[in-house]
Structure 1
Amino acid sequence: MKYRLIDLFCGCGGMTLGFVHPRFCGAFESVFALDNDAAAIESYRANFGSHAFHGDVEGWASGERAASIPSADIVIGGPPCQGFSLLNKQRRGDARRALWEPYMDIVACSGARVFLIENVQGLLNTPEHEGIRARAEALGFQTSSALLNAADYGAPQTRKRAFIIGWKDSLNDAIIFPPRPSHAASDASGGLPRRRTVRDMIADLPEPEDYDIRDVPPPLDLHFRRKPTATSLRRYKAVPPGGNRFDLQRNAPEITPRCWIRKTSGGTDLFGRLWWDRPSVTIRTEFFKPEKGRYLHPEQHRPITHREAARLMGFPDEFIFKGKKIEVARQIGNAVPPDMAGAVARTIADALAARARKAA
C-alpha cells in the first residue's frame, strides 16, 4: 500500500515526482493535483494521470468542490514563490502571498496527517510564515521549518528553498526534519558522495542543431538552440570559462550593454558561463536568456538548452513536458528538484511506516 498524496500548485510535477518515483522515494501515489497553468497540468497528466485539474486553489478550498477533495495522507505544494521572492520589487501587497490560506483549507478537508510547503527562502522571514504555523497549530499540527540546498540532496543545482512541514501528534517521535544531507562538496568530510555537477548531467549531449521542440525520442526532443544574432554570438565568445558580464565588458566593451557598464557591482552571474565541475546555479524560468543569469554553456557559445536545464533540475529524460517552448521553460524553472523532494519524501515515508508498525 502506498500513501495518498495531494499536490497543490503542482506545476508539471517536480515535487510529486520526488515522492512517487522509485528512483527518488516511491512510497506515495498521487490522487489529486491542481494548478492554474494549463500547460503544466497537461504535463502532469502525461506523467501521473488524469486526476490533475486546471484551476485556482481558492475555487477548490470551499463549497461543493471542497467536498470532492479526496482523502490523503499528505498534502504538498508550493504557493507561487513570486509573492515572496526578492526579485519581485512589488512583493508587498502581492495577492499571491495569501494563497497559503486556501492551501491549509484543503489540508484540513483532506484529513492529511502531514503537509509540506515549499517556497523561496524569503518566506521564512515573513508574517505569512507565522500565519501558516498558527493555522497549522489550530488544526492540530506541529511544525518545523528549514532552508535546504538542493545540491546537498543529490540535485545538480545550488538551489536554496524554504520548507515548512507539519505533522499530527501521532507522528511526533518519528519525523526527522530537516533530512540529513546525502551529498557534500568535494572537500567536505563525512564520507558522503560529492555533489553532482554540470559535467555529470550534460557532458554527454551533442551540440544542438534545431531551434524548436522536435518529435524525436528524448533527450534530443528538448535539445535545441536559439538562433543568435551576430552581436549575441560575439558576446558569447567574449565570455571565458567561468566568466560573466564583467569579462564581456573587458573583452568587448563596444558590444556591452550600457546599463551593465554603468552598474559596476553586483550581478556577477549575469551573462555568466556555468562551471563544468560545480553544480548549476538556480535554474529559473528564463534560463534560455543569458542576460538573466549564469546560463551560458561551459564551453559552447550559446545558452543552455531546455534539455540541459531539465537535467540540471534533476528531471529524468523520460519525463514528458507538454506545451510551447516558453511554457516548458516555465515548468522547468518553477519546479522543485525531484532529488530534493525525494529526500524529504523518504523521511516522511519512514515516519508514516514507523507509526503504522507501532499501531499494529
Structure 2
Amino acid sequence: MDLFAGCGGFSEGFRSFSTTGHAREHAFSTVAAVEYAPAAAATFQANHVGAKVMCVDIEKFDAYDFEGGIDVITGGPPCQGFSGLGKGDTFDPRNSLWEQYARIVSQVRPKAFALENVDLFFKSYEYERLQEAVQPRGPLADYTLAEGILNSADYGVPQARRRAIVIGTHRSVGKAITLPAPTHAKVPARTDGLLLFDAEPRLLPWVPVDLVFERSAALKISGTFLPDRQGAGNIAGPFYTREIHIGRNPTALSLARYQAIPAGGNRVNLRGVEAEVGGRIVYLGTESWDRHHNGSGDVMGRLRLGQPSVTIRTEFYKPEKGRYLHPLEDRPITHYEAALIQGFPEDYLWHGTKIEIARQIGNAVPVGLARAVAEAIHHRLAT
C-alpha cells in the first residue's frame, strides 16, 4: 500500500525490484494507494493498473478493510513544513500528517513500512513524536525502527538527493530490517590505475547525468505545450515520458543570461556582465544576486557533466530556482530530462498540466532509491 502516493515513485521502485533480474518478474505489486491530488492519482492509476487508487483526503481514509492483506506500506508525508526551502513553520498542519500514516499502519498491521521525508525531518519535533509512537502503548508499539539519511546517488540514481528514510519492522517478523547498503560511491581512490573503494563489497562510481542528456539529445523538443489529450475526469493525458520533452519560451534577458553562463557556472558568472538585449545594453546580474556571496549559489546554474544532478524539485523548469540549466545548451532542463533523472522509464504515463506533472516529478521518491529500500525489505521478509 502506497500512502501520499503521488505519481508512484515509491511503487515504481518496488515494482521494478526483481529477485531474478527479469524486469517483468516483480517481487512486489501495489494493492492500494491513497493520493489527494487528482492528476497525480490519475498518473498513479495509469501505471499501476491493478491497484485500487483512492483519490481522497487521507484523514478520511479507513484502512481496516485492508487489515492482514498488506505486507508493506510505503509513503512520503508532505515535507514543506520541514524543508529548508520552506518557511520552517513548526505549526504547519502538514507537519503532523505522518500521524495519518501511523494510524493506517496501526490499522493494517503490515509486516514492514517505509517512510520517506526530507533530511531535516530527523531534527523536527514530529520525528520525536514518531519515536514516541513505537514506545509501549504507542500506536506503533509492535514495530522496531531503523532510520538514516540516504543519498539517492549512493544507489545508482544520477541525482544527489538526501532523504530521511525510516523502515519499521513488525515484531512478528523477528530481526529488524536494516537500511539498504550503498551500491555506489562518490569518488573511489585511484592506485596504480585501479579503482579502490573503502567498503566491501566494492562500490561502483556515482552515476552522472551524462547518459540522461545523451538520451534527450536524440529526441527533439516538442515545442512548449503538451499534446492535446484528455483522460478520465477531463484530466490531461496520458502522455508517455518521451512526450513531455517540452521547453519554454525564455525572455530575451533570460536567454542572454543563459548564454553568458559557462559549463558548470551559475549566477556568479553574471556579476559585472553586460550584454545587448533588445537593442540596448543591460546588466545581466541582479542587485539581489550581487549582495549574496554565500548561499543560493546554484541559482541560474548549469548541471555538471560527470556528476549526478542536484535535487530535482517541483520547479526544475525555472533556472532562477536552482541549478537547472542544461549542461551545454542554453535552456532549462525539460520535464522528460527531469523524469529520467528521477529514474522513471520511457514508457511511464503522465496525467496533468505542465505544472502538475512537474510537481509530480519533483515530489517523487527517486525510483532507484525506492528499489534499494524494496530490496532491503524483501531480503528480510523472504528469509
> TM above 0.5, one fold?
yes
Local SS of the residue matching 1:20: helix
Q: Which residue of 1 aligns with 2:234?
A: none
Secondary structure of the structure 1 residue equivalent to 2:150: strand
Distance in 2 separating the partners of 1:218 and 1:100? 32
Q: In structure 1, what residue type is equivalent to 2:364?
A: A
Task: Say if 2:307 is the partner of 1:278.
Answer: yes
Could you say which residue in structure 1 is the equivalent of 2:278? none
Answer whether contact 1:85 1:91 (CA < 8 A) is retained.
no
Q: Report the secondary structure of 1:115's partner residue.
A: strand
Deviation at 1:174, TM superposition (A): 5.8
Query: Residues 276-322 of structure 1: CA distance to partner in whole angstroms, max 9, x if unpaired?
Result: 11000000000000000000000000000000000111111111111
Which deviates further from its counterpart, 7-16 or 182-191? 182-191
Q: Write the distance in 2 (CA, Å) between the matches of 1:220 and 1:55.
A: 30
Aligned to 2:53: 52
Q: Secondary structure at the match of 2:205?
A: coil
- Native 8 Å contact 2:241 2:349 kept in 1: no
User: Do the aligned residues in 2 keep the contact of 1:35 with 1:41 (CA within 8 Å)?
Assistant: yes
Structure 2 distance, partners of 1:132, 1:108, is 13
Taking a change above 3 Å as real, the CA distance of residues 217 and 288 of structure 1, as seen in their structure-2 partners, is: closer
Task: Report what 1:100 is aligned to.
Answer: 98
2:151 paired residue among 145, 149, 152: 149
Letter in 1 for 2:365: V
Aligned sequence identity (%)? 42
Distance 1:269 1:307, change over 3 A: same
1:93-118 C-alpha deviation (Å, 9 max, x unpaired): 00011111111111011121111110
1 CA distance for matches of 2:187 and 2:240?
31
User: Where does 1:110-259 land on structure 2 (aligned, <5 Å)?
Assistant: 110-137=108-135, 138=138, 139-173=141-175, 175=177, 177-188=178-189, 189-190=196-197, 191-206=202-217, 207-214=220-227, 218-252=240-274, 254-259=283-288
Which amino acid in the other structure matches residue 53 of structure 1? M
204-213 vs 42-51, greater mean Cα deviation: 204-213
Deviations 1:62-102 (A, max 9, x none): xxx34334531111101101121111114210001111111
Let me know the Cα RMSD of the aligned residues. 1.9
1:68 and 2:65 correspond: yes
The question of whether the paired residues in 1 share the 8 Å contact of 2:240 and 2:350 is answered with no
2: distance between equivalents of 1:214 and 1:311?
19
Displacement, 1:22?
4.1
Count of aligned pairs:
344
State how far apart, in whole Å, the 1-side matches of 2:65 and 2:31 are. Answer: 12
**8 Å Cα contact 2:335/2:358 also seen in 1:** yes
1:31 alignment partner in structure 2: 31
Residue 245 of structure 1 aligns with an amino acid whose one-letter code is R
Which has more helix, going by share of residues?
1
State TM-score, norm by structure 1: 0.91
Per-residue deviation, 1:257: 2.3
Q: Which moved more, 1:191-200 or 1:210-219?
A: 210-219
Q: Partners of 2:366 and 2:80 in 1: how far apart?
A: 17
Residue 135 of structure 1 and its aligned partner are, at CA, apart by: 1.3
Contact kept, 8 Å, 2:239 with 2:351, in 1: the verdict is no
Which amino acid is the alignment partner of residue 32 of structure 1? A
Structure 2 match to 1:87:
85
Conserved in 1, the CA contact under 8 Å of 2:118 and 2:163? yes
Kept in 1, the 8 Å contact 2:80–2:94? The answer is: yes
Give the partner amino acid of 1:150.
S
Write the letter of the residue equivalent to 1:211: T
Cα deviations by residue, 1:152-209 (Å, 9 ceiling, x for unpaired): 001110000001111122334362x221111112435333222111102222323524
Q: Distance in 1 between matches of 2:327 and 2:273?
A: 18
Encode CA deviations 1:6-39: one digit per residue, 9 max, x unaligned. Answer: 1100000001111112468931111110111110
Distance in 1, Cα, partners of 2:269 & 2:26: 45
Q: Which runs of 5+ in 1 are unaligned?
A: 1-5, 355-360
Instruction: Provide the C-alpha distance between the structure 1 equivalents of 2:227 and 2:290, rounded to a whole number of angstroms.
Output: 39
Structure-1 residue corresponding to 2:336: 307
| TM-score relative to the length of structure 2 | 0.85
Looking at structure 1, the residues matched to 142 and 86 of structure 2 have their Cα atoms a distance apart, in angstroms, of 33
1:124-144 deviation per Cα after TM superposition (whole angstroms, max 9, x unaligned): 112211211221343311111
Distance 1:105 1:219, change over 3 A: closer
- The residue identity in structure 1 corresponding to 2:266 is N
Q: For 1:90 and 1:274, locate their aligned partners in 2 and report how far apart those are by CA, in whole Å.
A: 27
Partners of 1:86 and 1:220 lie apart in 2 by: 32
Question: Is the partner of 1:204 in helix, strand or coil?
Answer: helix
Give the unaligned 5+ runs of structure 2.
190-195, 229-237, 275-281
SS in structure 2 at match of 1:304? coil
Identify the residue that residue 3 of structure 1 maps to in structure 2: none
